Amino acid sequence: MELIKLAKQLDFSSENEYFDYCIDSWFNGNFSQCNKLFKALTKTQRKQLINYIRDCYDYRHQVETFYFNLL
């Protein structure tokens, strides 16, 4: 499914909002939600999320490691 369609299902207007929601879910400890959000993504979109997380932080962050391990 297109990422923008996934985002709109959650009332987001952009793909980045979906990625931010994935990150916020991790910070809030909602790991089952993280898994669900991640599994809804295609393989390419999952890589985009990992790259987005890398762009958000200047160092290797635990949230990146969490999602990377879901690959």
Q: For 1-26, how does the pLDDT look when each residue is reduced to its tens digit (9 = 90+)?
A: 899 999 999 999 999 999 999 999 99
Q: Is 40 exposed, middle or buried (0-12, 13-18, 19+ CB in 10 A)?
A: middle
> Which pair of tokens denotes residue 26?
């991790």
Which range of residues forms the domain containing residue 35?
3-70
pLDDT mean across residues, the chain:
93
pTM given for the model: 0.88
> Cα dist. 42→7, 37, 52, 57 in Å?
13, 11, 15, 23
Number of domains present in the structure of the chain: 1
